[in-house]
Each structure stands twice: as structure tokens, then as C-alpha cells.
Amino acid sequence: MQRRAMPKKLGKKMRQIRERLGMSQREIVAALNYKDTPLRASQISQYENGQREPTMMLVLAYARLAKVSVESLIDDKMKLEK
């Protein structure tokens, strides 16, 4: 079974959200209040640098925090909403 490709711009968009909110990686961990699994600042770094793929639930948490659509986060053809 072939794996699907991770959106190439997802990590960059996650970083843009964090920076727009003026938060450090530790601060966004707290703000996301993500309870599915323990979340650490080191993981945020890996997501932002494209070294690891976030779960859809984490992508949803980012979208809700930033008040943007999930689609704008995962679709490489779309720019992040302001």
C-alpha cells in the first residue's frame, strides 16, 4: 500500500500561524490544549520543519486556534487565510 504525500507547505503554514499569534513553540502547545496525546515543543519544531506529519486532529486544533479553515492548511495551492 502506497502512502499519500504529506502536504509540502503544511509545516510552513503551522509556523506562520504560531508566529502570527506571537507565540513560542511552548506557548502554542499550551494554547492548543491538545489532549489526544502529550504534545511537546520539540514535536512542534518537527512539524514546522516537515520532519514529522501532524495528526488531522492536531491540524484541526491549529485551524480552530487561528480561525482558518483546515483546507487552507492542508491544500498546498491555497494561501493561509489572514
pLDDT digits (tens, 9 = 90+) for 21-59: 999 999 999 999 888 778 999 999 999 999 999 999 999
**Domain residue extents for the chain:** 24-72
Burial 15-45 (b: 16+ CB within 10 A, else e): bbbbeeeebebeebbeebebeeeebeeebbe
Report the predicted TM-score, pTM, of the whole model to 2 decimal places.
Answer: 0.88
